Amino acid sequence: MPISLDNNMMRQIIMDHYSNPINKHQPKDDGFAKVHMHSDNCIDDLDIFLKVNNDVVVDACFDGVACTISTASTDIMCDLLKGKTKNEALYMIEQYHHMMHEENFDADVLEEAIVFINTSKQAARIRCATIGWNAADNILKEKK
């Protein structure tokens, strides 16, 4: 995904994932690992579900109460996780965190998640933009 996405496109992507988060639902079958996340400075109170088979994330979804930023960022993350190996997934999450904190990061693996590049402008909201990503990180590291 090119960094040259302009601001309007980035806004549109965030709004689309917020208004219509296709991954926001309970798991549709068994075999999902779940982590509950709760924010102490935002409304966010959600469950993240990952299904990992033979080292590959085969499905991801989330549910609960979440703000604009956490909904969109978690929804995008679920899209990106599907089909990745655990190591690829963990690498992507690590790069996302680098982006959050204005460190050097590998933009290629972040694809659509690049739309959150400006989160550090509103540092109080980094927690919202990473809550789902931290949950996935916990699940993947637990299962390693």
Query: C-beta of 42: minimal distance to other proteins in Å?
Result: 5
Is residue 87 near other proteins by the rule CB under 8 A?
Answer: no
Stretch binding other proteins (CB under 8 A), from 7-15, 87-95, 100-108, 132-140: 7-15
Is residue 19 near other proteins by the rule CB under 8 A?
Answer: no
Measured between alpha carbons, how far is 105 from 57 in angstroms, rounded to an integer?
22
Is residue 67 near other proteins by the rule CB under 8 A?
Answer: yes
Measured between alpha carbons, how far is 18 from 24 in angstroms, rounded to an integer?
10
The secondary structure of residue 85, as a DSSP letter, is: B
Cα–Cα distances (Å) from 57 to 3, 61, 65, 92, in that order, read 26, 11, 24, 13
Is residue 10 near other proteins by the rule CB under 8 A?
Answer: yes
The secondary structure of residue 106, as a DSSP letter, is: -
Query: C-beta of 3: minimal distance to other proteins in Å?
Result: 14
Cα-Cα-Cα-Cα dihedral of 110, 84, 38, 67, to 10°? Answer: 50
Query: C-beta of 99: minimal distance to other proteins in Å?
Result: 13
Number of residues that bind other proteins (CB under 8 A): 19
**What is the binding site for other proteins (CB under 8 A)?**
7, 10-11, 14-15, 41-43, 65, 67-69, 118-119, 121-122, 124-125, 128
